[in-house]
Amino acid sequence: MDDPHTLDATGLLCPLPVLKARKRLMALASGEALTMQADDPAAVVDVPHFCAEAGHILVSSDLEGPVQTYVIRKK
């Protein structure tokens, strides 16, 4: 099984990166972090919106280059 703290969502289009992040976060304990990589241009808007709506903390987002990296801390 993949590391539950990482998610490679490259190649997936909206809404799949956020849906897969939500599923992966459900398996984590409160306070644990998920590092997700995505290359969907919509993720720049979708991931922060998802975190705000779900109550998770967007610890960081690296938006340089074609692949974005997000660190999300579960509420």
Phi then psi dihedrals of residue 69, to 5 deg:
-120, 125
pLDDT attached to residue 1: 47
pLDDT in tens, 47-72: 999 999 999 999 999 988 899 999 99
- The reply to whether 51 belongs to the active site is no
Query: Which amino acid, residue 48?
Result: P
Fold of 6-73: Translation Initiation Factor IF3 (3.30.110)
* Cβ-Cβ contacts under 8 Å for 7 (sequence gap 6 or more): 20, 21, 24, 34, 35, 36, 37
For residues 10 and 39, the answer to whether their CB atoms sit within 8 Å is: yes
- Nearest-angstrom CA–CA distance, 75 and 66: 28
- Active-site choice (8, 12, 14, 15): 14
pTM (two decimals): 0.93
pLDDT tens digit string along 5-23? 999 999 999 999 999 999 9
